[in-house]
Amino acid sequence: MQESPPCQLSFQNLYRSFGRLAVLRGVSGEVSTGQTLLVTGANGSGKSTLLKCLAGLMVPDRGEISYRQDNTQLDARERRLAIGYVAPDLSFYEELTVEENLLFFARLRRTSEDRIGHLLERVNLPPDRSAGTLSSGMLQRLRWCFALLHQPRLLLLDEPFQNLDSPGQDATRSLLEQHLDEGLAVTANPGLLELPHVAHHLQLAG
């Protein structure tokens, strides 16, 4: 099997404030293909803000973010469309079913719709269930499907196992392990997590 060119994400001296409240103060780190960067810290320490900056959903006040994928340097706009993102503030159209939501996002991402059935099967989510009637654990499974739909190389995971039961955690850990064969991940969680291939650990001060 032909190997994909390596990917690398690095960020140096990231600063982000909300008014007078400084949330990120000179945060740096890096992660490469096959690795996980685990970011831990108390509530309000800036984990979600860091992931939003890395995803291109928020602009840092200062600092550099560099992401190389397939020998190409991606800017914030390209990075935003290329990554996979799981976060508690990610919601879906409640009027549509699980499958309709994923079909819609697959069309926007110009990716094959064939993968939807496979992902739903892996996380054991009923395709015809309305997204508005999902439990919090099922919604978290849908977030995982959304993140992996376009087979991204970089996964940004904000509290990725939140609300998941034991089978749900097993299924998503297995998806993460498989993803790390050719991809990389940054995972944020208040405490330490049992994760595959953790190469770096970044502790954010509260």
Partner 1 sequence: MSHTTSSWLAEAFAVFAKEWRTEFRTRYALNTLGLFAITSLVVVSISLGPLGAATAERTTVMPVLLWVLLLFAVAAGLPRAFVHEEESRTATALRLSATPSALFTGKLLYSWTVVLALELIVTPLFVAMMHLPVANPGLLALALVLGGYGLAAGGTLVAAIIAQARSSGTLFSVLALPVLLPLLVLAIELSRAAIAGDFVPVVPRQLLLYDASVTVAGLLLFPAVWNP
Residue number with CB closer to partner 1 (34 or 130): 130
- Angle, helices 98-108 vs 136-148, to 10°: value is 30
Residue span 132-151 as binding mask against partner 1, x where in contact by CB under 8 A, dash where not: --------------x-----
CA-nearest of 167, 157, 142, 145 to 193 is 157
- Contact between 128 and partner 1 by CB under 8 A: the answer reads no
**Residues from 92 through 121 that contact partner 1 (CB under 8 A):** 92-96, 100, 104-105, 107-110
Residue 38: CB atoms within 10 A of its CB come to 20
Q: Shortest approach of partner 1 to residue 90 CB, angstroms?
A: 5
**Residues from 36 through 65 that contact partner 1 (CB under 8 A):** 55-59
Going 144 to 145 to 146 to 147, the CA torsion angle's sign is positive
Q: Which residues, including other chains, have CB under 8 Å from residue 161's CB and lie 6 or more apart?
A: 140, 168, 169, 172, 173, 189, 193
Pick from 22, 42, 81, 192: which binds partner 1 (CB under 8 A)? Answer: 81
**Spatial separation of the C-alpha atoms in residues 62 and 82, rounded to whole Å:** 23
Q: Shortest approach of partner 1 to residue 147 CB, angstroms?
A: 9
| Helix, coil or strand: residue 70 | coil
Q: Shortest approach of partner 1 to residue 58 CB, angstroms?
A: 5
Residue number with CB closer to partner 1 (45 or 79): 79
Amino acid found at 164: L
Binding site for partner 1 (CB under 8 A): 55-59, 77, 80-81, 83, 85, 87, 89-96, 100, 104-105, 107-110, 146
